[in-house]
Structure 1
Amino acid sequence: MTLTDLRVACQVANAGLEGGVMCSLRIEGVNINHMNRLSMVQAGVVAQNANTVTVEACDTGDDVWQMVFSGGVVGAFADFNSTPNTAFMVTAQSMAQPSAMPITPTAFKGSVAVADIMKAIAEKVGLSFQNNGVTAVMNGSVTLNGSGADQIQAIAQAAQITYIVATNVLSIWPATGPTSTTAQVTISSETGMIGYPAYAQYGVTLRTLFNSAIGFQSVLKLESEYAPAAWVNEMGQLNQLGGNNIFPASNGIWVAYRVQHDLQSEIPGGEWTTYIEAQRQDLAKGTVFAR
């Protein structure tokens, strides 16, 4: 079922690893019969409905539809509390179906590249695969059991790599983060940055007009007048002042570790933004996300 031209509030949060991508939808104007047909109870630990949801949106100033989210529905119901604006509420996760889908064991004899193992698992659960620089090799025979999500997480832990399932693609990165050849997304006032970057515990937070190109582990080139250009290190970021290391928000290269898209349609003055939490590239290289 395709729904268009309705009042929708959508929030898509990318955090990576087991959580994957979370999506919350509030849709007004859906026919009551359709809501009853699509409603489902919250998914259990071992039970998952086969329903899926895909969200598409256009970048600011563009009319090309981009996939923002695709995943399994874990909860859906009609909310009559705001009648006459009855809403259909949907919660979905990109890891819902890989977590519940039973697949055959994945086994390799002898040494095998981690990327080859991940690709084999992705194919079993119907995902495309993207390797972003992982060269690790598993020595000795490998046998994996459980759901697709179980097998993916087992290899991620063993190889100490980072991954995410987003828009029907399993993407993996080495523990050192994105490679130097990774394409950078420039964020500045000219490209839609709203306000200024803000200091955060692990780096910087910022908000920009909706940009579908920004996701988990995206490499960002931040350009802002917020920080004095002279007080920067080789990555273009503040490093030391008065002998003390400081890492405030500043120009330079950053790696996104949490991205949230907030989209509202048919709502005057509605949100059409992307919120980003990012850390310095040099600090990201020392971080291992997989547990």
Structure 2
Amino acid sequence: MCYRKYSDFLKEKFGEKVYKLPIKLDLTCPNRDGTCGYGGCIFCGEEGGSFENNYGSIKDQLNFNKEIIKNKYKANKYISYFQNFTNTYMDFNKFKESVLESLIDDVVGVSISTRPDCLGEEYLDFLEELNKDYFITVELGLQTVNYHTLDKINRGHGLAEFIDSCIKLKKRNINICTHIIIGLPWDNDRDIVECARILNALGVDEVKIHALYIVRNTVLGKMYLNNEIAPISLKDYKKKVILFLRHLKDDIIIERLIGRAPEENSLFCNWDTSWWKIRDDIVKEMNDKGYSQGDLVKGEIL
């Protein structure tokens, strides 16, 4: 394989297939409620990054999704995945209670979706302690290393907060997964290469790559309808993903090369092409040209 796949990593670590079980909570983000801004990220809809399951108790959601995955993939081990909005942006005791409730039978790990500016010491202390018995991953939404673009998309934080969070998590030996978007209108190839190099320097463990999808009733959606922005071409997306991978160290795990979006609520989503077709095209091009993850890292200071 021309890149290090997440599914292969999990199988190596646990000796068998492991699948994520999504959990959706009634949450918000600090750039929505006025703490550091209003309206949230300009690309984020009301689902807050999660659209695959409904609200309900944590155990009900886990057991429902567990039965589906177990029957479909014959899986026996799972990771509880707190997926929507900012999961560490709630009362600490409620956060702790929610995480502990997710440790049902056959759960071997927990993934927490959050922001770089929402990792208080008590949350980190708790996750560090839990990491002794479970595989804990903190999924940090970065999206881009270009701080001008971070302002444009209304993230409410800069690159420095991301770097600080990674340093804190690394000191506690907690696994880091970074979310990035390839195809933001204000980024160029230099930003993509610099993103890979910064993640290399910080020792990030995993990366989850998203294409820019455009959801109705968002600021980005209005910009798209007003012809203020235009998505890059599918050809350019594949090219940029390959560029990123070639500058990323080969021991960093790739959770995915492209994400999915609720098509019924999207103005633009993955060029009306299935995510697996885009993934397979990227892999084929890399194999055909003899490219691999990290093959351009040689000779760098890192």
Give the TM-score normalised by structure 2. 0.22
Choose between structure 1 and 2: higher strand proportion: 1
Give the TM-score normalised by structure 1. 0.23
